[in-house]
Chain A
């Protein structure tokens, strides 16, 4: 297969521009609602179904239309996509979905759809945009699962729903702990990104020196 025809896969959305830990967008569901692995899974699936599909659909809205009107279309499409998402979540997770329903509802105005599309996605070819947006959703999933697993262990003494020990810190399910945890994870993500960038810069310098 000719490599020139394949769209470029950018991994920015995973770490370097992770939507939660680096860009600070769509943080409310993770800070408040992602207290267990199951809830993180519900939030991730909802985010995928609402945001990703809306991005793919809204790409066909002509850019001739002024942004003031286009944003209304984006929100409308996302609100329409909410309907099957909510039905699916209630069918797959009947006990837990109601606990995070509000944080699924507010995903219709999330910043990935309203801001990132204009600044990044809609400037790319369609295939590349689809993969790039999917990588961003995977980055969101990564942040949600890490936060959910840590808080499930601390607040409930469980891992993936199985009880492991007594709850070490029941207050880990509170909002303020979510802020602390996401802030510290954001710092860790930044440290990893800076370290990798310095390593690649040093490797580039060594390569140039060798040449």
Chain B
């Protein structure tokens, strides 16, 4: 029960206080792309949440060995990329064999959902802030939920953000950034300023 409470509390911090999009800007272009339709919101969220959670669990054991060495930090991106790559291949193989219809639909954007700053950024944040396995799991899971929150907020406002009333130079990508900026301003009241990277 304590473990579950720790996971939930760390996940809440990851969703609201250190949101991957609003606080760290990880994967802001993926969020803008994924928020276009309800199906892509759900698809991307599921993919990213699964990847961050499972990769966080694996990275806990890797970090235990790697961070204690003098030059281990140099190889962290390579090892994290290998973890994500292995999970990516396993996931593709699993869906190809078990759910071929889903595999055909998700084939064109699965690499965008997996190889992005949100997933790898979650692993780096874990290595900076995580201490034990429950916090790693909570942080990884919370990153995916935080991504969903950002996607959802963008999706519900799509109708207004795609309106013709918006000045031509702001239509599309600039107004999305301004919108994310305003929501980030609101979340700042929860987070405060995180100065260290």
Q: Residues of A with Cβ closer than 8 Å to B?
A: 22, 24-25, 27-28, 31-33, 67-68, 71-72, 75-76, 78-80, 82-83, 86-87, 98-103, 105-106, 108-111, 114-115, 173-180, 182-184, 186-188, 190-191, 194
The reply to whether the CB of B32 lies closer than 8 angstroms to some CB of chain A is yes
Is B25 in contact with A175, judged by CB distance below 8 angstroms?
yes
Q: 6 shortest A-B CB distances, which residue pairs?
A: A179-B181, A183-B177, A176-B184, A79-B78, A176-B185, A183-B178
8 Å CB contact of B170 from A82, A83, A114, A187: A187
Bound together, the chains give a CA A106 to CA B181 distance in angstroms of 21
The reply to whether the CB of B164 lies closer than 8 angstroms to some CB of chain A is no
The reply to whether the CB of B196 lies closer than 8 angstroms to some CB of chain A is yes
Residues in B whose Cβ lies below 8 Å from that of A184: 174, 178
Residues in B whose Cβ lies below 8 Å from that of A98: 197
Q: Give the Cβ gap from B71 to chain A, nearest Cβ, in Å.
A: 9
Is B25 in contact with A76, judged by CB distance below 8 angstroms?
no
Bound together, the chains give a CA A22 to CA B171 distance in angstroms of 12
Q: Give the Cβ gap from B180 to chain A, nearest Cβ, in Å.
A: 5
Interface residues of B in 75-112 (CB under 8 A from A): 75-78, 80-82, 84-85, 88-89, 92, 111-112
Is B25 in contact with A32, judged by CB distance below 8 angstroms?
yes
8 Å CB contact of B174 from A102, A176, A178, A190: A190
Is A24 in contact with B27, judged by CB distance below 8 angstroms?
no
* Residues of chain B at interface, number, CB under 8 A: 53
8 Å CB contact of B180 from A106, A179, A187: A179
Bound together, the chains give a CA A41 to CA B84 distance in angstroms of 29
The reply to whether the CB of B63 lies closer than 8 angstroms to some CB of chain A is no
Interface residues of B in 91-139 (CB under 8 A from A): 92, 111-112, 115-117, 119-121, 124-125, 128
Residues in B whose Cβ lies below 8 Å from that of A24: 28-29, 32, 173, 177
Residues in A whose Cβ lies below 8 Å from that of B76: 105
Bound together, the chains give a CA A67 to CA B112 distance in angstroms of 12
**A114 closest partner in B (C-beta):** B115
Q: Give the Cβ gap from A49 to chain B, nearest Cβ, in Å.
A: 13
Is A179 in contact with B25, judged by CB distance below 8 angstroms?
yes
Interface residues of B in 147-197 (CB under 8 A from A): 167-170, 173-178, 180-182, 184-185, 188, 193, 196-197
The reply to whether the CB of B26 lies closer than 8 angstroms to some CB of chain A is yes
A111-B29, A179-B184, A183-B178 in contact; A83/B116 too (CB < 8 A)?
Answer: no
Q: Sample 18 A-B pairs with CB under 8 A, ordered by A number.
A: A27-B28, A28-B121, A31-B25, A32-B197, A68-B89, A71-B115, A76-B81, A83-B75, A102-B124, A105-B76, A111-B29, A175-B184, A176-B185, A179-B25, A180-B177, A180-B178, A183-B178, A187-B167
A179-B180, A190-B169 in contact; A82/B25 too (CB < 8 A)?
Answer: no
Bound together, the chains give a CA A143 to CA B75 distance in angstroms of 29
A106-B26, A106-B121 in contact; A83/B115 too (CB < 8 A)?
Answer: no
Bound together, the chains give a CA A163 to CA B24 distance in angstroms of 28
Is B173 in contact with A186, judged by CB distance below 8 angstroms?
yes
